[in-house]
Amino acid sequence: MNGYKETIEWLFRQLPMFSRVGAAAYKPGLDTSLRLDAHFGHPHRRFKSIHVAGTNGKGSCSHLLAAMLQSEGYKVGLYTSPHLVDFRERIRVNGEMIPESAVVDFVNRFRESGYDGRPSFFELTMMMAFDWFAKAEVDYAVIEVGMGGRLDSTNIITPEACVITNISKDHTQFLGDTLPEIALEKAGIIKSRIPVVIGEAEVEVRKVFERKAAEAGAPICFAEDGPLLAEAVGSSEGFVCRSEMCGEFVCGLSGDYQLKNINTVLGAVRMLRENGIKISDEAVRNGFRNVATLTGLRGRWMKLDDNPLTVCDTGHNEAGLTYNINKLRRIIETRPGGKLRMVVGFVADKDVDKILAMLPKEAEYYITNADIPRALPASELAGKFAAIGLDGTIAVPVIDAYRRAVADAQPEDMVYVGGSTFVVADLLKDL
Tens digits of per-residue pLDDT, 12-25?
887 655 444 444 44
Provide the β-strand partners of residue 394.
Answer: 367
Q: What would the mean pLDDT of 184-211 be, rounded to a whole number?
A: 95
Question: Are the beta carbons of 364 and 341 closer than 8 angstroms?
Answer: yes
Query: Would you list the domain boundaries of the chain?
Result: 4-295, 302-430
Q: What would the mean pLDDT of 149-156 be, rounded to a whole number?
A: 93
Q: What is the pLDDT of residue 130?
A: 98
Tens digits of per-residue pLDDT, 324-380?
999 999 999 999 999 999 999 999 988 899 999 999 999 999 999 999 988 999 999
Q: What would the mean pLDDT of 233-251 be, rounded to a whole number?
A: 91
Q: What is the pLDDT of residue 363?
A: 96
Q: 3-state class of 347 per DSSP?
A: strand
CATH no., domain 4-295: 3.40.1190.10
270-274: long-range pairs with CB below 8 Å, 24+: 270/197, 270/221, 270/228, 270/245, 271/161, 271/195, 271/197, 271/221, 272/50, 272/160, 272/161, 274/195
Q: What is the pLDDT of residue 19?
A: 45
User: Is beta strand 91-93 parallel, antiparallel or unpaired with respect to 76-79?
Assistant: antiparallel
Q: 3-state class of 421 per DSSP?
A: helix
pLDDT level of residue 301 (50, 70, 90 thresholds): very high
Question: Are the beta carbons of 328 and 422 closer than 8 angstroms?
Answer: no
Q: What is the pLDDT of residue 120?
A: 87
Q: What would the mean pLDDT of 235-252 be, rounded to a whole number?
A: 91
What kind of architecture, by CATH, is found in domain 302-430?
Alpha-Beta Complex (3.90)
Q: What is the pLDDT of residue 51?
A: 98
Q: What is the pLDDT of residue 15?
A: 67
Please state whether the peptide bond connecting residue 308 to the residue before it is cis, i.e. omega within 30 degrees of 0. Answer: yes
Query: How many C-beta atoms lie closer than 10 Å to residue 30's C-beta?
Result: 16
Q: What would the mean pLDDT of 394-420 be, rounded to a whole number?
A: 98
302-430 has the same fold as 4-295: no
Instruction: Please provide residue 320's backbone torsions phi and psi, each rounded to the nearest 5 degrees.
Output: -65, -40
Largest Cα separation within the chain, whole Å, is 65
Tens digits of per-residue pLDDT, 22-61?
444 445 679 999 999 999 999 999 999 999 999 899 999 9
